[in-house]
Structure formats: structure tokens, C-alpha cells
Amino acid sequence: MSVGGLVLFGLVTEVVLPVWTVQEAGVASQVACASRCSQHDACGGFQWNSSSCFLVVVASVPGAVNGAMTNAFRLNSYRTNYHLYEFPPPPGGIDPANALATCRNNSMDLVPYPVTLKDRASLSIRQTRRLFVDMIRASDGSYVTLSSGVPVPNTAIYGWMPGSPDGGIGRCIGMGGPDLLFFDFNCSYTTTNAGVICVYSTLQ
């Protein structure tokens, strides 16, 4: 979110997967570290360890290293006018319809696919291995939003997890792994591997 230039980060604990990071030199404070992340076009969060600044970035950033970071400040600004909200992992697992319903029942929307490198990097900081995105494969093989059937460009899918797409059988679309790749699966599956990340609109 960006309101009058203010960018919001939120602390995420129990981050489940390793993230890609680069260390920034010459940073004197946590606020300065947050500012470095805001200015970096592939940064979605950061960690300040009282003397060093680590930016959470996408894998393609030169020098990025993959490693565990169990706590990080996540950039909750998403796309141009959304704010991310992550529910704790549902204990009994969840399916896409209930993920969508969870968001809607709380006046939010299911997270749409990431557009920018910053969006990708911020979604790499999360409490579950996988997440459902607001996307479904239509019967003609194109992609539309699960929530309202709005077309999604094929180019939104920048990479599939190993084994996906599964012959185009699964209609629901999710994302997962440290590199936030796409996967398809049967919409009626309830899984304990996926969490619920919602978005709400913010003022510009």
C-alpha cells in the first residue's frame, strides 16, 4: 500500500519456506533497511538483525541466496492498490472454494496472481507452503478468475512447479515453493499444504 508515500510492512512469523535474500551494505537502521526494500524493484520484505540488512527478493536477483528466514517484515502492499492479509494456516486444511469464502466472509478477496517482482517476493514470505490464487482454468483451457470469471492473461503464469500442469486436468490454480511457481489441481481437494491469503483495497 502506498498512501502519500507511506509503505506498510508487517511482521510475519513462522515463515515456512526458505526465501531468497541479498544483503545490503551501508544500512544503519531498521527504518533504512525498510526504505532500501521499498526502493528495490524485486524486494518484497526484509530482515534487520540489529546490524545488517537482508532484503527478501526473487530468485533471479544477482547474488541472491536461498535460506531459512523464520521471521521477516513482509511488504503487504500488493499490486497497485491492495494490501495482503494472511490467515493462520487452517488446521483441518482448506479447498479453494472455502479459501475464497474465508476472504469474502471477511470483506476481502482471494489474492490475485502477482504482477510485479515485488509482488512475487512478498508472497514468498508466508506461513504455508502453498496458496490458492484467484484463478481457474476454464473449460476452453484459458484462465479466468475463480471469483468472477474475468479473463487472466496466459502470460500471468511465469512458471509451473514440477509435474504441473497435470495434463490440464486440474482446474484450480495455486502457487507454491520458494520460487512461487504455479500448479494445477482438482478443485475439490482439501489440502493442509495451502493457506489463505486475501487482499483488501487501499486508498492510493
Ligand X SMILES: *[C@@H]1O[C@H](CO)[C@@H](O)[C@H](O)[C@H]1NC(C)=O
Chain residues in the site for ligand X (CB under 6 A)? 49-52, 98, 101-102, 105, 169, 186, 188
Residue 169: CB minimum distance to ligand X, A: 5
Residue closer to ligand X by CB (options 25, 203) is 25
| Backbone φ, ψ for residue 164 (5° rounding) | -115, 155
Chain-centroid distance of CA 180 in Å reads 7
Q: Dihedrals φ, ψ of 96, to 5°? A: -60, -40
Reference 93, options 196, 176, 184, 199; nearest CA is 196
Collapsed DSSP state (helix, strand, coil) of residue 47: strand
C-beta of 199: minimal distance to ligand X in Å? Answer: 17
| CB of residue 104 to ligand X, shortest distance in Å | 7
In whole angstroms, give the CA distance from residue 203 to residue 80. 10
Q: Which of 62, 64, 84 is nearest to 74 (CA)?
A: 84
Alpha helices in the chain (DSSP H): 30-39, 96-105, 117-123
Closer of 120 and 137 to ligand X (Cβ): 137
* Dihedral (CA of 127, 189, 146, 41) sign: positive
* Nearest to ligand X of 119, 184 (CB atom): 184
Number of H helices, E strands in the chain: 3, 18
Q: Which is nearer to ligand X, 142 or 190 (CB)?
A: 190
Nearest to ligand X of 22, 175 (CB atom): 22
Nearest distance from C-beta of residue 80 to ligand X, angstroms: 28
Nearest to ligand X of 102, 147 (CB atom)? 102
Cβ at position 12, least distance to ligand X in Å: 19
Tell me how far, at minimum, the Cβ of 46 lies from ligand X, in Å: 13
